[in-house]
């Protein structure tokens, strides 16, 4: 269909570039585009995506047993990817025009499946986030995973994840995105079940894989629906207002909702969020990388990626807003009663992802993306801090860590407080600014209930975050327990350097709001960012402060009982600790309805009716054959019998 | 006083049927031969009764033939039965072919 110039690689064949009017003299346009994408850009994008894959293959094939070599390979590939990502962001981030180039992979009738890259501010920003956090986490893992028998395997899987995630980020069409979406799910499964000899870990891996698969089926159906009605899955094409103008609103709404199913699964939203807390069975760096900062944010990223398309259906947007709000509040409630430090961060991840989806669902494109960026930084930091504590004290229980004097680890605790403040949304940390943008969007909605829910979420977030911080910082006085038994923990610098880098990012990122807004959303939305009502920031800050204060009264001050206000109602405590009974409900659903109900009925039907009918048919044939067989065995007596019977019959008929 | 002809025919008919049943049902070559003998003798009785009823001797001559045939038949038949028993180890006609004795 397209003509390739001789001597040029197919790679450089751009499919389209948005921004110029489509449909007018395509060949001429094509020539211009080829000129506009420099070769270095293409090579940088390819390198960034493919290097981790190469590292994965080399580690698995060559040096799984040699731990230092595999770590070197993986981290080397990752640092190259990071360099490429930064280079791409620096050169193309401000260009304003998305660059897309793709190569045909499969052609079947009208269906052209392409692979390639889409470089626009959103994907470049996400790519930098992913590569940077991957790099830091891999550095951190050098110390955290040291001595583990599966060290090489760990780095191989990390590289696999990096490859899948970078390619997902850069995917120019939804099909490629879906492929890597699944690959990311696979690496998540492999890494959650990394310590597979532990039964709970392998179970959690399976649970995560299967529950996200439920959402992915919806996603795939949405893609097929789009393919059937539009015949094209190109992201830029879908986001084009002209495309949606041709489609029926019903189809847009339905496909939006189906695609959102994938987002629900991957970003652990209601009702599929119960896999995420269990996913904490994996190594803590994995939780930091996959299950808080990057992979679970892929759902939100997909939302932002398709934001103009999804925004065409007001009904679907309301549903997104509702689901985001519900997930945020439910997860915050669960985080208030958990004793497991990683579980608390997992719940807060769910709630913050819900908050991003709220922001996007309310139409705040920049707010969602900004919070995604900020969250990636401070949540990775929180998990890495938790990892240091868990590594040192060999327990996940925050009271136990507190009892063993976890606050002695000064760098870790400082970083944790910084990240916790960002999570709670306290000035001047990054979370404050990004939450402010989202709350501003919610305030602009007609229905005040969304804003109220958002503010309630902010209050609860501050409360549960500082509940954990205060519990660890102010241990309960227990005179009869020897407290300084574990005084000698050193904080390895390999672990603390990534912490400090991320803490610095958390401090600085909030002040980069304007450049980021200009980068992500273009100049027009900068004014919107400043359009928040004047009463909002003080109110939000006041609620955060109230949450922190409440946590301090209950857990921090001298003589505090160290039990939250929720724990005065055992019913509520149980409800939250049991995750709203959702797991029970799913177990019941699968066991009673699916397993013993539908599946048992099908089995019965199969055995009784289908097998029974087949057996009856076969048996009757066998029996008939057996009866008939007695007549042709050449035996004397039956022959005689027949002969005599015929003889008698003839005699009688002849006589009478 | 002579036996009425109908009684003789009834007796020979019953004997013939019994012999036929024995021939069809028994699972033993020798018993089958015996059944055959009974059938032949039933025919012989019918001949004798008829000759008495009609008043001619043809029927009795026929009976002598039947006795001779029956004697030779038994001799050959028993010899065959013994021979079969030696070769196959059984006198069950269903088993002589070597399969499905249970039927």
CB contact under 8 A, B24 and A637: yes
CB contact under 8 A, B94 and A635: yes
Q: Is A613 a residue whose pLDDT tops 60?
A: yes
Tokens of A537: 């920031």
pLDDT score at A243: 80
pLDDT score at A14: 42
Give the minimum alpha-carbon distance from B55 to chain A in angstroms, rounded to a whole number.
25
Q: Which residue of chain B comes nearest to A635, CA vs CA?
A: B94
CA dihedral A512, A296, A419, A330 (to 10 degrees): 120
Secondary structure of residue A103 in the 3-state scheme:
strand
Residues 6+ apart with CB under 8 A from A591: none
Residue A106 contacts B where some CB pair is shorter than 8 Å: no
Residue A642 contacts B where some CB pair is shorter than 8 Å: no
pTM for this model (two decimals)? 0.75
CB contact under 8 A, B97 and A630: no
Spatial separation of the C-alpha atoms in residues B49 and B9, rounded to whole Å:
7
Complex ipTM, two decimals? 0.77
Residue position matching structure tokens 């019965």? A604
Model confidence band, residue A96 (pLDDT cutoffs 50, 70, 90): low
pLDDT score at A11: 41
Task: Tell me which of B13, B20, B21, B24 to substitute to probe the interface with A (most A C-beta atoms closer than 10 Å).
Answer: B24
- Decide if A64 contacts A153 (C-beta within 8 A): yes
Residue A625 contacts B where some CB pair is shorter than 8 Å: no
**Beta-strand (E) ranges in A86-174?**
99-108, 111-119
pLDDT score at A28: 40
Number of Cβ within 10 Å of residue A254's Cβ equals 18
List, for residues A20-68, the tens digit of each pLDDT value. 444 333 444 444 444 467 788 888 888 888 899 999 998 888 877 788 8
**Chain A residues with CB-CB distance to B20 below 8 A:** 644
Q: What is the mean pLDDT of residues A495-502?
A: 87
Q: Which residue of chain B comes nearest to A630, CA vs CA?
A: B103
pLDDT score at A17: 41
CB contact under 8 A, A644 and B24: yes
Q: Is A486 a residue whose pLDDT tops 80?
A: no
Q: Identify the burial level of A534 via C-beta atoms within 10 angstroms of its C-beta, where 0-12 means exposed, 13-18 middle and 19 or more buried.
A: exposed
Spatial separation of the C-alpha atoms in residues A223 and A422, rounded to whole Å:
37
A384 closest CA partner among A283, A490, A466, A467: A283
Q: Is A6 a residue whose pLDDT tops 70?
A: no
b/e map of A621-644 (b: 16 or more CB within 10 Å)? eeeeeeeeeeeeeebeebebeeee
Q: What is the mean pLDDT of residues A329-333?
A: 89
CB contact under 8 A, B20 and A644: yes
CB contact under 8 A, B93 and A637: yes
From the list B24, B94, B100, the residue facing A640 with the nearest CB is B24
Q: Which residue of chain A comes nearest to B28, CA vs CA?
A: A637
Model confidence band, residue A531 (pLDDT cutoffs 50, 70, 90): low
pLDDT score at B1: 61
Model confidence band, residue B3 (pLDDT cutoffs 50, 70, 90): confident
pLDDT score at A618: 95
Number of Cβ within 10 Å of residue A63's Cβ equals 18
CB contact under 8 A, B20 and A635: no
Tokens of A175: 């099909």
Q: Is A215 a residue whose pLDDT tops 80?
A: yes
Torsion-angle region of A96 (φ positive above 0: left; ψ -120 to 50: alpha; else: beta): left
List, for residues A573-589, the tens digit of each pLDDT value. 888 888 888 888 888 88
A372 closest CA partner among A426, A274, A309, A298: A298
List, for residues B45-101, the tens digit of each pLDDT value. 999 999 988 888 899 999 999 999 999 999 999 999 999 888 888 888 777 665 555
CB contact under 8 A, A644 and B93: no
Q: What is the mean pLDDT of residues A551-577?
A: 80
Q: What is the mean pLDDT of residues A299-308?
A: 90
CA dihedral A364, A369, A374, A379 (to 10 degrees): 110
**Chain B residues with CB-CB distance to A645 below 8 A:** none
Q: Which residues lie across from A107 on neighbouring strands?
A: A112
Percent of chain A with pLDDT over 70: 89
Please tell me what DSSP assigns to residue A560: -
The chain B residues in contact with chain A (CB within 8 A) are: 20, 23-25, 32, 93-94, 97, 99-100, 103
Check residues A485 and A260 and name the one with the higher pLDDT: A260
Check residues A362 and A632 and name the one with the higher pLDDT: A362
């Amino acid at each position: 269909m397209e003509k390739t110039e001789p001597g040029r690689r197919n790679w450089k064949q751009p499919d389209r570039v948005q921004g110029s009017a489509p449909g007018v003299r395509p060949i001429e346009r094509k020539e211009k585009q080829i000129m506009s994408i420099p070769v270095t850009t293409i090579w940088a994008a390819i390198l960034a995506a493919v290097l981790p894959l190469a590292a994965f293959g080399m580690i698995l094939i060559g040096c799984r047993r040699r731990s230092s070599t595999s770590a070197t390979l993986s981290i080397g590939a990752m640092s190259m990817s990071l360099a490429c990502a930064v280079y791409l962001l620096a050169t193309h981030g401000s260009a304003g025009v998305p660059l897309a180039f793709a190569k045909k992979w499969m052609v079947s009738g009208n269906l052209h499946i392409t692979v390639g890259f889409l470089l626009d501010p959103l994907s470049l920003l996400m790519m930098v986030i992913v590569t940077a956090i991957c790099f830091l986490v891999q550095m951190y893992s050098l110390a955290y995973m040291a001595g583990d028998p599966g060290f090489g395997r760990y780095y191989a899987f990390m590289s696999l994840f990096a490859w899948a995630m970078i390619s997902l980020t850069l995917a120019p069409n939804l099909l490629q995105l879906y492929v890597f979406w699944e690959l990311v799910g696979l690496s998540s499964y492999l890494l959650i079940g990394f310590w597979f000899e532990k039964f709970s870990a392998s179970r959690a891996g399976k649970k995560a894989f299967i529950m996200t698969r439920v959402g992915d089926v919806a996603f795939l159906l949405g893609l097929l629906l789009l393919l059937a009605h539009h015949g094209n899955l190109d992201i830029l094409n879908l986001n084009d207002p002209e495309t949606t103008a041709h489609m029926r609103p019903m189809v847009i709404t339905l496909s939006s909702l189906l695609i959102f199913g994938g987002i629900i699964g991957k970003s652990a939203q209601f009702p599929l969020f119960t896999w995420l807390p269990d996913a904490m069975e994996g190594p803590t760096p994995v939780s930091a990388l996959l299950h808080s900062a990057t992979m679970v944010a892929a759902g939100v990223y997909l939302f932002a990626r398709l934001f103009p398309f999804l925004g065409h259906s007001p009904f679907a947007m309301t549903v997104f807003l509702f689901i985001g709000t519900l997930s945020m509040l439910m997860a915050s409630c669960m985080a208030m009663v958990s004793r497991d430090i990683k579980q608390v961060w997992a719940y807060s991840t769910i709630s913050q992802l819900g908050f991003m989806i709220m922001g996007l669902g309310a139409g705040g494109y920049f707010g969602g993306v900004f919070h995604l960026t900020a969250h990636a930084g401070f949540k990775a930091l929180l998990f890495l801090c938790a990892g240091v504590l868990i590594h040192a004290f060999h327990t996940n229980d925050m009271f136990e860590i507190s009892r063993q004097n976890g606050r002695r680890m000064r760098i870790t605790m400082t970083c944790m407080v910084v990240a916790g403040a960002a999570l709670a949304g306290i000035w001047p940390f990054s979370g404050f600014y990004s939450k402010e943008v989202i709350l501003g969007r919610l305030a602009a909605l007609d229905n005040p209930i969304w804003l109220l829910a958002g503010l309630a979420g902010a209050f609860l977030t501050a409360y549960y975050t500082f509940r954990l911080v205060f519990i660890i910082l102010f241990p309960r006085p227990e005179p009869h327990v020897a407290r300084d038994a574990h005084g000698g923990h050193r904080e390895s610098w390999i672990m603390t350097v990534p912490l400090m880098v991320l803490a610095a990012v958390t401090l600085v990122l909030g002040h980069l709001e304007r450049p980021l807004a200009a980068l992500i959303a273009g100049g027009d939305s900068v004014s919107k960012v400043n359009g928040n009502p004047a009463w909002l920031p003080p109110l939000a800050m006041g609620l955060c402060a109230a949450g922190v204060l409440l946590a301090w009264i209950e857990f921090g001050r001298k003589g505090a009982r160290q039990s939250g206000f929720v724990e005065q109602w055992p019913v509520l405590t149980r409800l939250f600790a049991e995750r709203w009974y959702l797991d029970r409900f799913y177990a019941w659903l699968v066991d009673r309805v699916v397993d013993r109900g539908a599946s048992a009925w099908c089995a019965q039907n199969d055995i009784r009716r289908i097998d029974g009918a087949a057996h009856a048919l076969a048996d009757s044939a066998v029996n008939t054959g057996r009866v008939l067989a007695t007549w042709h065995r050449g035996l004397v007596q039956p022959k005689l019998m027949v002969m005599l019977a015929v003889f008698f019959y003839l005699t009688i008929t002849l006589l009478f | 006083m002579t036996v009425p002809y109908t009684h003789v025919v009834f007796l020979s008919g019953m004997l013939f049927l019994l012999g036929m049943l024995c021939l069809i049902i028994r699972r033993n070559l020798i018993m089958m031969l015996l059944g055959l003998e009974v059938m032949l003798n039933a025919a012989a009785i019918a001949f004798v009764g008829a000759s008495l009823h009609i008043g001619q001797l043809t029927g009795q001559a026929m009976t002598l033939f039947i006795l001779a045939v029956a004697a030779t038949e038994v001799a050959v038949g028993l010899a065959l039965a013994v021979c079969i028993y030696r070769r196959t180890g059984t006198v069950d006609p269903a088993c002589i072919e070597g399969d499905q004795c249970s039927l």
